[in-house]
Structure 1
């Protein structure tokens, strides 16, 4: 039987401290990092997606960052294919692949034997829902999904309207919910995985998120979003990301800048809560509490020991 490729997966909510931990692990175990974030694939969208800087990378190679233009669509199925290819490529160079990020479905689709639904579609029905979403708002279409498939509705953000509509379309065409389709998936791990999760006391995490948003604004988030807005990017998938849609509402004159920033903080906190719920329900994760930031180095050493033990690795240091 072919030996499974070794893989580290580091997950956790936004602002929990994944970047610093991932760089330490990559340096220790001769690793290369694959971004597991569904929005860091987009070029020019740097501040709002909290993209790692060249300086922060400390020479560690990073993959799947800046690979799409903001107007392009990108699916979990494409991510699955690209990342599996990258894992093999990194292994072929004698390095350890590491997926780092917070987009649950994307990561789950890579590490498990996950088949994307080939359920039939109905273009007329889909187009109708898209028009209704424009007219009535994303929340209304999301509420419909909530009524027929509460679990899918919980896991799909209202502003990810393409996936909301796809879930409704599957039900419309087959009478089966998206959740029922996903329950038929195999839970077999395709890799020899060390699955590490970072968590934090909720109040501490929420205050870190708020601080991060304030910093993003100081770093020029408004100007970054305005540049996309001025290019006429209105319906693109990328603009549905948290950090962009809230500023778009300000640029559209719907809210004040102060309210847009507050909405961004609130949406980021809610997203962090959903991320943690997803990871806890869907994956067998070894959790490490990062609440006491003064003990971060000690925690990162604990994580290193766990990874080494789980995968039978020798470190570089």
Structure 2
């Protein structure tokens, strides 16, 4: 019996290492300070328990402006969790207003990974994202916390979930939350949000990144809100005040138009993924955006945050009844670990 267990452990250890190696393959990324501290180790149960439950990962999706970041924070304050950013522009350092990064205050103490960590001029591919995200997920799970991946770059999410011969799906059990807002209501909201971003200093922020020889197809300069101001920054200083104001107005209109187009593309992509067979939990937040103040907050709790918490609780514990709010064993049930250790020392 003892020799059989030793052979089983050796075989499963080889299989586990091979699987993790495939998941963590990525291009070399020099000088990228990723906030995924902590080493990775495999305990006995990881290699001994053939039928162990998959590790849990929550993925929050939705078009720009729908409240994905807010929902991820709500969930991370109700369950011990850490957040991984999957917005390709928010990965870069700088342009916090233009890329609409969540502020440290709004993060409410929840650890965030892959947020503002890349050099503004760096190239970063979907494959790079998959590699560093696998590392971040494992690091979070090693701390017995729930990884929540959130962002609007659905091409990155699709590459992560369906790429690498679907290795991510084979290792992790994924719960997809889709925050949806009707397009006319959302377009009105994002238009108002651009005005607020301008009021908060977006133009001056983007001006600091202006380079007449810049390539708007690389790095953070691909972000909406950067190329639209090129004409204003390039020609504005030599024009009279009225013409300069007109150029600024045109740039802001372009930012609004391009943001609305982005929301349409993101929504189409999510629907395509749903038709592809992805099991998404839709959460209609349209009513939230039709209200203001306390009524909007109440609608958010009732229609989005509350239902999401129920879905995640059921997902984590595999039950529909009320459960404790602490996640003492996201990776494996303690009873299962005790049984495995007892068998190993038999």
Q: CA offsets per residue over residues 91-143 of structure 1, 9 Å max, x none?
A: 0001100001110111122233x04xxxxxxxxxxxxxxxxxxxxxxxxxxxx
CA deviation after TM superposition for structure 1 residue 234, in Å? 3.5
Q: 1:138-157 residue pairs with structure 2 within 5 A?
A: none
Q: CA offsets per residue over residues 180-202 of structure 1, 9 Å max, x none?
A: xxxxx659724211100000121
Partners of 1:305 and 1:17 lie apart in 2 by 18
| TM-score normalised over the length of structure 1 | 0.73
Query: SS at 2:148's partner residue?
Result: strand
Which residue does the alignment assign to 2:286?
291
Does structure 1 residue 77 correspond to structure 2 residue 155? no
Q: Which runs of 5+ in 2 are unaligned?
A: 1-49, 237-245, 289-295, 319-323, 328-346
CA deviation after TM superposition for structure 1 residue 224, in Å? 1.1
Between structure 1 and structure 2, the one with the greater Rg is 2
Matched positions, count: 247
Which residue does the alignment assign to 1:240?
222
Does structure 1 residue 211 correspond to structure 2 residue 192? yes
Does structure 1 residue 11 correspond to structure 2 residue 61? yes
Asked if 2 retains the 8 angstrom alpha-carbon contact of 1:73 and 1:238, the reply is no
Q: CA offsets per residue over residues 56-82 of structure 1, 9 Å max, x none?
A: 000000000111111111111111000
Which residue does the alignment assign to 1:182?
none
| TM-score normalised over the length of structure 2 | 0.67
Deviates more, 1:239-248 or 1:219-228: 239-248
Q: CA offsets per residue over residues 260-284 of structure 1, 9 Å max, x none?
A: 1101101101100110111111233
Q: CA offsets per residue over residues 235-270 of structure 1, 9 Å max, x none?
A: 533212111111224223398111111011011011
CA deviation after TM superposition for structure 1 residue 298, in Å? 1.1
Does structure 1 residue 189 correspond to structure 2 residue 165? no
Partners of 2:65 and 2:133 lie apart in 1 by 23
Q: Which one of the candidate residues 109, 115, 119 is aligned to 1:59?
A: 109
Partners of 2:140 and 2:199 lie apart in 1 by 36
Does structure 1 residue 306 correspond to structure 2 residue 306? no
Partners of 1:31 and 1:188 lie apart in 2 by 19
Query: SS at 1:99's partner residue?
Result: strand
Which residue does the alignment assign to 1:133?
none
Asked if 2 retains the 8 angstrom alpha-carbon contact of 1:192 and 1:311, the reply is no
Q: CA offsets per residue over residues 28-57 of structure 1, 9 Å max, x none?
A: 111100001001111112111100101000
RMSD, aligned CA: 2.1
Does structure 1 residue 315 correspond to structure 2 residue 297? no
